[in-house]
Structure 1
């Protein structure tokens, strides 16, 4: 398994988790609470955690290409939902 993690500074982490999971649930399996989320993509799984002033994404995928696809989907949608603030997204890959 390939893994990647990012910690994104934001005070709206819980809100973004809810928006992402509600949006994705039309095409893939998702579940979420106030502080956690999980999205099951065909290529892998993304776990989401809302911490104080921080949004954490942890992705597990079968290969590097799948990992990059999931990252792309997450980033595109998160940037749409976060248009009111500038987010810095840096991934730490474990492959």
Structure 2
């Protein structure tokens, strides 16, 4: 298992968390509320936590997979939702 976490500064963390979960809910199993969410991607989960001034995003690869690609896909989707805010800053840090 390989994981990384980014703390993304934004005042819209809850909104982006919910948008991402609803968006991916059409293809993958998701669970979420305004404060926490999880998307069960085929190669591992994405966990999200909304704070007042940041969105915490954790990506985990359960077996074979490309963690950097997973990070990029998550960041690309969140940046599409944040287009009015501008490019979000992702500071990916390894957890293992």
Q: Same fold (TM over 0.5)?
A: yes
Query: Bigger shift: 58-67 or 73-82?
Result: 58-67
1:50 shift after superposition: 0.3
CA contact (8 A) 2:43 2:64 kept: no
SS in 2 for 1:21: helix
Q: How does 1:1-95 map to 2 (within 5 A)?
A: 1-62=1-62, 65-86=65-86, 87-95=88-96
Deviation, 1:52, is 1.2
Gaps of 5+ in 2: none
Q: Which runs of 5+ in 1 are unaligned?
A: none
- TM-score normalized by the length of structure 2: 0.90
**Structure 1 residue 63, shift from structure 2 partner:** 5.0
Deviates more, 1:85-94 or 1:27-36: 85-94
- 2: CA distance between counterparts of 1:46 and 1:40? 7
Q: Please, what is the CA RMSD of the aligned residues? A: 1.5
Structure 1 residue ranges, 4+ long, deviating more than 6 angstroms after superposition: none
Q: Distance in 1 between matches of 2:47 and 2:89?
A: 19
